[in-house]
Each structure stands twice: as structure tokens, then as C-alpha cells.
Chain A
Amino acid sequence: MSDSFPRRSWLARCLGGGIAATLAALFYPVAKFLRPRAATSSGALEMVAPYRMDQLKPDAEGRWPSPFNFGGKPCLLILVDGEPRAINAVCTHVQCTVEYRAATQDIFCNCHNGLYDINGRNIAGPPPRPLEVYQAVKGSGKPGQEEIIVSRKA
């Protein structure tokens, strides 16, 4: 057995090392898996909007901030009497994306001149149903720059 004697010890060490290495290699993905991830927007029923209160105003060309992704659907964020309001931005006619017109304070669909009021009610043109309104509340932040939390019931 003397031949295998040093060979076995060397092998044993290699083997021990190999097994330890594979276990460590398994440990790495597990550790990364367990780390908490960034807030997800997928299928979320509640999320922080990408606009703060002070960002809700027309840009240099007079355009209102465009709808953001809320649970996979575009969602408009408008201001009503200083309070934020979130409205689904998919037109109920043939599903074009609507836009908010700050000048006339209404929601307009480019495709067939559909018109909604700031409550989402369809007031003119082809849309057959009103737009769904979601809950939008001011979150934390400096006054005037609060973040906006948009949510909807299941």
C-alpha cells in the first residue's frame, strides 16, 4: 500500500479541495438569490410613480409628461386642485394611448378625437366607456417635491 500512500493523501487533499470549491460555487448563487431586489414594476398593484409632484407640468413644448408603465399598461398622472390623480391611459375605443391637454384640462385621444374629462368620463367622440381612475397619494419628500404613490385594488 505504500505506493498509494502518498498518492492517496494528495488525492484526498485535491478531492477535499474540489468538493469545497463546488460547495462554495453553489453558495455564491444562493447568496445572490437571497439579496432583496429592487422594487419591481411587474404586475404591481402599487408603485412609486416616476414623476414627483414638481415634475407634473408641461414641458418646453407644452406637452404634459407622458404616461408611465403601471402594471404593464400606460397610466396618466395629472394634477387636480394641486392633488395628483392617476388615470389609465388606454382609450376605451380602439386602445390608442390618450394624452392630457393642460391647456383645455381634458384628456384627448388622437386617433378619433375621443375626449374625456379629468374624471375619466367619456364626454365626446367615439369612446364608449370612461377611463379607470387609480389611487394616487403624495408620499415622502420635500414639500412641493413629494413622490407620488400610485395604487389600485386587485
Chain B
Amino acid sequence: MSPAKPENFQPERAQPEDTGKPGWKEAVKGFFFERLGLDGVAALAAHKRVPIHSRSLFYFLGGMALFLFGIQVVTGILLSLYYKPSPDQAFESVRAIVTEVDFGWLFRSIHSWSANLLIGVLFLHILTTYIMRAYRRPREFTWLTGMALLGVFMTFGFSGYLLPWNQLAFFATKVGTAIANSVPVVGKYLLLMARGGEEVTGDTLARFYALHVVILPLSVLALVGGHLFLVQKHEMSVPEDMIKKYGSAKKAPSMPFVPHFLLRDMVGWYLALGVLAALAALFPWELGQKADPFSSAPPGIKPEWYFLFMFQALKHLPGQLFGIEWLEGEVVGVLFFGLLGLMVLLVPFLDRGAATGRPRRVLNFFAVLTVVFFLYMTAWGVLEKPAQEQPAKTPQTTADSPEGPPVKGTP
């Protein structure tokens, strides 16, 4: 047997005739291997191992994110066959998907829920990578591409949120893009670029659609390609304590990626599928009301949860900090978050003791602070009741007026 043909990952099967002659399965495999140069892939697959330790569960998160992204691509493609990205057709087309197309409601709900799950998984992935200090040399670029991917996926979320063109989406986008205005110097330009104009209009929708369906997917392709390449190249990172315990990274206990880890990955993927199905069934994503640019924003308008911590902080910053006129609250807030993002981006370089294994007390302190801040702000944003609860306008039943039915909004 050639060394390139690994045996220890093939489950032994009782062959009907163990004659040594290659069966049809081997013939098919050989056909593709020869032409597509899959020997290298097979070698990698055989070689790749995943460390086993108390925090091994963290290693599932990357694959989970990839799986959820795959779901997004598939459901997204399906939705794009029926969605029409124009202000007078967007809402109606989503309504048609949800009510008229077979299983449209299912794919739409899965797409929306999976987006939220994906970003949650990404947050956890970053957090756990930080905990395990997996960004240590030579994996700094893995971290950088990962951070870029986080930015791309949050943009995915923001752009996708507008597409159904309902009241919540419209005003959340209006408020969200308005924050861009607070960036000093380039703020106005950023706003115009984001909105495609002064206000949120059909141009904004077109732009967001292009982002969501073309620009960002291509960016993901490039970035994930690079990210995965680096992950394979540098192999899975082994935590420092394991290295210390076993002498070297190679000696630390591990399991083969194929098939052991992959099977465990599949358990996770099926679990995610079940969770998504349950969410789609029990908490279907609502249609809402068609966006009316001339109405006032619904009370308590806020962005999706993954932006909430920033939004909440900006909302509650005073107009002028410390009473100083030029220290505008929003500008300071935006700069603060910009700085925070930069710090997170540069963690591999800020962690001076990474190479030598020195504990990172200062960094840990700030990390804990950031996580607590994130959790607190998000919780506050979720739980805060809008300032003036307007009495809910119950749709007038047509039975009331004897003169004739009152004017009803578009159904």
C-alpha cells in the first residue's frame, strides 16, 4: 500500500470478497484522484489533528461558523430567486416568499435565524481564540483575517436587515447610518456613501443589496480562503499549558481530524440544524409593516442585538461631555468604539508576552472589562422600555363607521 493511502481512518468493513482486487468504489476514487490532484488534499486530511484538552469544545466553533455560513449561502440563493430589491417591490416580494412560495416561510425564517446564530458563534469564536491565546506567533494573520471576517459578517447583518423594507428595518438603518455622520472629518462622506444619498431611499436598498449579495460574498470567499489556508498551514494551535505539560506541541494528545473530529463536528451541525428548525417553527420571523419613510420612527427603535451594545452606549452618552462644548458625545462615542475595534484587531501585537508565555494580566483585565461592558450594554438595550409607550394603534375594524369604512393602510 502506498504511504499516500492512509488506512487508519477507513472503518473496516466486512468485504463480500476480500480478493485484493480493487472494487468499483476504489476505481471511481482513483479516477478523480488522478485527474484533480487530490492526493495533496488526502494527505492533509490524514495529517490534520485536533488537540484534546479541557477546552477542546472551542475548536468546534470555527467549523460551526462555516456550516452556518453555508446555510446562509444556500438559503440566501433560494431567497434571491424571488426577492426584488426595489422600495415598491421589496416588502411585497418578501411577503410573497413567506405566504405564496412553497416553504418560502421556512427558508426565510432559517435565513434570518441562522444569521443571528452565525454572528453569535463568531463572537464566541473570537472570545475562545483569545482565551486560548491561539493568535500567538505565527498565527497573527489568522487573527487579522478573522477580524476582517467579523467586520464583513456584521456588515452582512446590517445590510441584510434592510432588505425586507419594513418599518423596523427602514428606521434601524436610518438611525444606524446616521451614526456614521459622527465620525470626525469623513463622517458626512461616509453617510452619503452608505446611504447612496442624503436619506435612506431606493438607492440605499440597491447598494445594500449589492453589498449583501455580491461584494461581501466575494470578500468572504477571499478572506475565508486565506483564513482556512493559514489554519491548515499552521495547524491547530495547542494551548501553552498543554505544551508545557507534554514538552512540545506535537507530543500533546490529539485526535485525527478525519474522521473523528469531523464526526463530532457533524453532531454539532445536526444539532444546529435542529435548533434552526425549531426556531423557524416556534419563532417565525415576522413580516412587519411596509416601510413608510414619511412616518415617524417606531418608538424604541433599535438595531439587531449584535450592534446593540454600541447603540445603547451612544444613545446614553450626553450631548456634550463634561459640559465642554466641542466634546460631542456621539463623536467621542464613535471614536471610542473605533479605538476599541483597533485594540481588538491588534491583540496579537499587544500581547507582548505571547511568545515567552508570560501572563497577560493587563490585557486580560481589559478583555474582561470589554466582555462585561458588551454583556451589560446588550442586556440594557434589550430590556430598556421605549421612552413614551404610545398606545398601540389597533387596526380599526371596518365595522365601526356607519358612514363607510375608515381609511385603512395598505394590507
Contacts and interface: CB of A to CB of B under 8 A. Distances in A.
| A contacts B directly (C-beta below 8 A) | yes
A61 B323 CA distance: 79
B23 to A, nearest CB: 15
Interface stretch (B32-40, B96-104, B372-380): B96-104
Contact of A94 (B78, B91, B404): B404
B11 A40 contact: no
Contacts of A154: 88
A33 B404 contact: no
B103 A29 contact: yes
Contacts of B99: 42
A35 B92 contact: no
A111 B401 CA distance: 12
B391 interface: no
Given A9-B13, A42-B92, A30 B404 contact: no
Interface string A97-111: 000000000000001
**Mostly helix, strand, loop or mixed at chain B's interface?**
loop
A37 B100 contact: yes
Contacts of B101: 33, 37
Interface string B79-108: 001000000110110011001111110110
Contacts of A33: 78, 101-104, 107
Taking residues whose C-beta sits less than 8 angstroms from the other chain, chain B's interface range is 20 to 34
B14 A5 contact: yes
Determine which residue in B89, B102, B106, B410 has the highest number of CB atoms from chain A within 10 A of its CB, and name it: B102
Interface string B368-408: 00000000000000000000000000000000010111110
B22 interface: no
A40 B96 contact: yes
A12 B81 CA distance: 37
A134 to B, nearest CB: 16
A94 B403 contact: yes
Contacts of B89: 43
Contact of B404 (A34, A38, A43, A111): A111
A8 B104 CA distance: 39
Interface string B54-93: 0000000000000000000010001001000000110110
B18 interface: no
Nearest to A11: B11
A72 interface: yes
A115 B144 CA distance: 71
Contacts of B74: 30
A96 B14 CA distance: 79
15 contacts: A5-B14, A30-B74, A30-B103, A32-B102, A33-B101, A33-B104, A33-B107, A35-B102, A37-B101, A37-B102, A40-B100, A42-B92, A42-B95, A42-B96, A94-B404
Given A29-B107, A40-B96, 8 more contacts: A8-B11, A33-B107, A38-B100, A42-B96, A43-B92, A94-B406, A95-B406, A154-B88
Q: What 10 A-B pairs are tightest by C-beta distance, nearest first?
A: A43-B92, A96-B404, A32-B102, A29-B103, A94-B404, A111-B404, A72-B411, A33-B103, A94-B403, A154-B88
